[in-house]
Amino acid sequence: MAILVLKRTLSRTAETVFALLVGLALSAIIIVIHGYNVLDTYYWLFYGGFIYYNAILDALAFATPLMLTGTAFAVASLAGLFNIGVEGQTYMGAIGAIFAGALLVTRFEALRPLALLLALLFSIILGALWALGPAVLKVYFGVHEVISSIMFNWMSFYISMYLVSAGPLVDPNRPEKSLTVIKEARFSVIYSILTTSIYLAAIVVLLTYFLLWHTRLGFEIRICGVNPDAARYAGINVKKTGLLAFVISGALAGLAGGLIVTGRPPKWAIHGTLGDVVNMGFDGIGVALIGSNHPLAIIFSSILIGGLRNGSRLLEPYVKMSSELSRAIIGLIILVIALPELYRYISKYLRGRSA
């Protein structure tokens, strides 16, 4: 058994490395077409993401919320559900953290010592509640979760943008951003933008792994994802299990949003355009696919994507590449790396439809 697991791990690792090389090759074509030097571009990309000490720490900071959004998608995916709503659930988690960590605790001073706990709790609750809508529509009304989740993403985007740019959560002194969470609602800074929130993210991912592979609920979630008919014959309540998986997924995404607020200095807030949160959920889907929906592998894939995201910040000042082009290049690399697992996912879905 151990040998089979090792072979599968090595095979998936080799597959990821090969896909990364293909992604870099395709991106190189785009770089050349736009008149940039490929070697110079990749030097600064990897130097800024993985080589020097400060870059590694910053990459870990970028990876922190991605660990959770990736794990959030994986939980739903293992239950046979495609939670593209991770993006919107992350928005709501950030809103929950700002509400509790900036507004609630300043209105009720007695709550200040509990500010961080409350901020995280509200982020988890709002993320879970926002996931409950698409989950109920899927489980009880047969509405496809992709369609409903996309609708919920747009609703959460505009609700969140209103709250932090024109609503009660806007900073009256700096209207371009949200309220800043108080000191008691912040994680300790390790270095630069990296905080101790990474420890919490890693612990939550490990606990999710334990839940999925070492508990009855986790077994039921995975069985429902592999074969829901067999799960029904085995006496598993497929609707209840799917609902729980989706809500757990939303809670993890919400926590990711909370950590973006409480664990990202020096702002300790989010911009009115939601630029700090936008694409964290979608990137998490890529992280999960690269990690084959396994929480332990997701830790490493999130660091890979976090490093690429961090390294891309150096392309504008040192290569004079526009931020739009650098984001497109990173997006292409992520897409190519995720394609093998995405292909397996789609093939499995189509086989289920034809059965």
CA distances from 94 to 13, 125, 166 (A): 33, 11, 16
Length of the chain equals 355
Closest CA to 303 of 97, 24, 66, 99: 66
Q: What is the distance in angstroms between the CA of the first residue and the CA of the last residue of the chain?
A: 30
Closest CA to 138 of 126, 147, 129, 130: 147
Q: Write the DSSP symbol of residue 36.
A: -
Coil, helix or strand for 195?
Answer: strand
Is 72's pLDDT higher than 60? yes
Identify which has the larger pLDDT, 16 or 111.
111
CA distances from 51 to 13, 28, 29, 48 (A): 21, 20, 24, 7
Q: What is the pLDDT of residue 323?
A: 86
Closest CA to 245 of 88, 150, 111, 139: 139
Query: Which two structure tokens, joined as six digits, stand for 311?
Result: 């390294």
Mean per-residue pLDDT of the chain:
92
Is 113's pLDDT higher than 60? yes
The reported pTM is 0.93
- Amino acid identity, position 161: M
Residues 224-274 have pLDDT tens digits of 998 888 999 989 999 999 999 999 999 999 999 999 999 999 889 999 889
Is 346's pLDDT higher than 90? no
Cα(245)–Cα(272) distance, integer angstroms: 31
Residues 206-227 have pLDDT tens digits of 999 999 999 999 999 999 998 8
Identify which has the larger pLDDT, 87 or 6.
87
Coil, helix or strand for 289?
Answer: helix
CATH architecture of 52-350: Orthogonal Bundle (1.10)
Q: What is the pLDDT of residue 344?
A: 79
Cα(320)–Cα(340) distance, integer angstroms: 33
Residue percentage of the chain with pLDDT more than 90: 74
Q: What is the pLDDT of residue 352?
A: 61
| Rounded mean pLDDT, 318-330 | 91
Residues 12-30 have pLDDT tens digits of 778 888 888 999 999 999 9
Band the pLDDT of 110: cuts 50, 70, 90.
very high
Q: Where are the domains of the chain?
A: 52-350
Query: Which two structure tokens, joined as six digits, stand for 247?
Result: 């809500």
Cα(182)–Cα(111) distance, integer angstroms: 11
